[in-house]
Every structure is written in C-alpha cells, then in structure tokens.
Amino acid sequence: MPRCANGHFQSLGLKCNTCGMQLSYREATSQLLDLPSVQPEFGRTASLYVGVPPAFREGGYSIALSSGDGHLQSKGEYVLERIQGGTWYDFYSKSSEEFARWLNIVAFGESTLKFVFADAAGPLSVLAVSALPQLSQTVMVAMTADGTSTPVEQNASYVAVSAALRRGFQVLALPRYLAKQILASEDADEPPSPAGSFSRVVGGLLGLRGELMDLLERDRHIGVGFHLLLPILSGSLQVYGKAANVFSVQSYQLPKGVEPGEVKTFHTLVSCEKELRREFEEGFAQFRNRTVKAALSAECRMKERADGGSFDLFTVVGLDENSILRECEDGYTAVAKRAPALRVESLA
C-alpha cells in the first residue's frame, strides 16, 4: 500500500487524501519483496496403510497404498496399476522410485511419528518399506506370514521385514495366527478376517501411539529393533480371573521355538478403567519377576478409560529379529531358489 511523504497510507491514486502530498509508489513496490513466511503444519502422525483397511480411530495424515485397474493419486490414496500375477519384486522394480518421489511431495516424512501398517505377506509391502524416507521415529507394524502361509507369502513377509530392519525402522510384528484369534468386527454381517482383525488392533494402538513410540525408541537405544505384538481386545477379568493370568496366557502366544529366556524387552500398554490399574500393575510385576526377569527393560504403562470393566492390552516383546524370520525362512528359501529375483539381495 503506497503512502505519502508524511507517512499516510492510502489506496491507489496520485495524491494523499489526508494532506495532499504526492504518493510514493517506489517505496511501496520495494515492500513487495518481503514475502510472508510459510510455516505449514504437518501434524504429529502420518500413517501408510498397505493391504489392510485404515483404522477409523486415527488422527493425523494417512495414505492407503493399493493396486487396481488404473493408476490413481489423491490426497489419501495411491493406486498402482495392477500387474497380472505380480510379485513383490515386480511392483518394487517398477514403482519404488516413483512412489518415493510422491511420498516426498506430500511431505510424509515431515510428521513426528511415522507408521506403516502392512500385510507383510502382500506384494506391495516391500515397495512401501523401500520407498519410505529413512527417518527417525518410523515404525512398521506388520501382519506377518506364519507356518500356515504359502511359501510365496512367506517370501514376501521375510523380505519386507528384512528390508525394514535394514533401513533402521522399528518393526512390530503380529503373526497371522494371532490375528485370526481376534474378532474382526462387531458387525455380525461382516465375516471375520485377519485383515479386519489387524485393523482393529491398529485402531487401539493409535490411541496409545505416543507411549508406544517412546518405548520403541528407548529399546532402539539398547539395540532392540524387532518386537512381537501380543494384543488382547475387549478383554475382561471375569474371563481371565486376574491380571497375572493375562500375561501367562500371552507367554503361550510366542512363536514356536521362542522361549521366555530369549525375551530382550517386555512392555505392556493397557487401556482400562481406573479401578483396574493396580491389578494390572501388580500382575505385570509378578509375571516379569517370575518369567522374564532377564529382560533388559520392562515397563507397564496405563491409560484410563471408562468402559464397564473391559480392557485393551498390548504387550510388546523385544526379540532377536530371527525369531519371526525363522517361521518364514523355509518358504522364503524355496521361492528364492526358483526365482532368484525374489531375494533380499535384489533390493537396492
């Protein structure tokens, strides 16, 4: 806005309407060079969903990666053109650079907390992990293949988890056999499915994401980057009797061949009503001192809620990375022998 020699700001014209002095446009033009600063708000949490439905309890920015009849990019969805019979290597080799550029354009890595929620056995899982910016506070929460999965699924899961660990991401694995044990939906018309169960687990975890990330980052500082996720949704002490029994049941959910003595860290996040807090704290302490006393770090954190006595519980067990890869190793090797491109070494 121009002003006269006496300092009066005016709208467009030749003379000041206040004092009659001539207006100076030269000075007003120089002020146009001072651009306002831009401080975009990226949000605290960014989530990438791969092969699983997004969780509805989430806050923050989210993207769903999938394949379909054509290529599509939108604010919350990235669709790759379907490749008939495509393996993880087909999608990775064709689209990893393009998808990485797109993630950079939408500033996915600028949020404080970054999550990848993926069906690791699916063909898009390796692409997603490989394209992500290699930044701190990034977690891959993966539904991993197990002994009942096909060798092709085991191969993809093995490579996806290996790629995430190689890139320095924290990995939180939910084996498919555990996902099958969780009720997928409260809607009776919707059949249970592992992907639906996984989505429900994700919804509960996102409500505790700050505490979860704090525990995982602390474990990273002591060299623990792989974790097993043992969830119980809508549990009741009327079923379990006491909190100590909940942890005892979870000890039987460890993968075949993994003994309690192999546990490196043992953490539990509980969402329950206030009256149950002491019960879970005492039950956790009893189980820790009796079964996982050798763990390098162990902690129980609580979040209060009013929900008629039910609870959601997520136990995060730090293990050596080969504990979950061991279940998929035979299938990975069998496929890689017949198709050399489907090896971890094929990743750039």
- The domain made up of 226-320 has a fold known as 60s Ribosomal Protein L30; Chain: A; (3.30.1330)
Measured distance CA(187)–CA(2) in Å, rounded: 65
Q: In sequence order, which residues have a C-beta less than 8 Å from that of residue 271 and are 6 or more positions away?
A: 204, 207, 208, 302, 303, 304, 305, 311, 312, 313
Measured distance CA(274)–CA(306) in Å, rounded: 8
What are the boundaries of each domain within the chain? 1-39, 43-216+322-348, 226-320
Give mean pLDDT in consecutive 10-residue pieces for the chain, a chain of 348 residues: 65 71 67 59 83 74 90 89 94 94 88 92 95 86 92 96 93 89 51 76 89 94 93 88 88 78 92 90 92 92 82 91 82 96 93
- The domain made up of 43-216+322-348 has a fold known as Rossmann fold (3.40.50)
Task: Check residue 282 and give its pLDDT.
Answer: 93
End-to-end CA distance of the chain: 55
| Residue type (1 letter), 68 | G
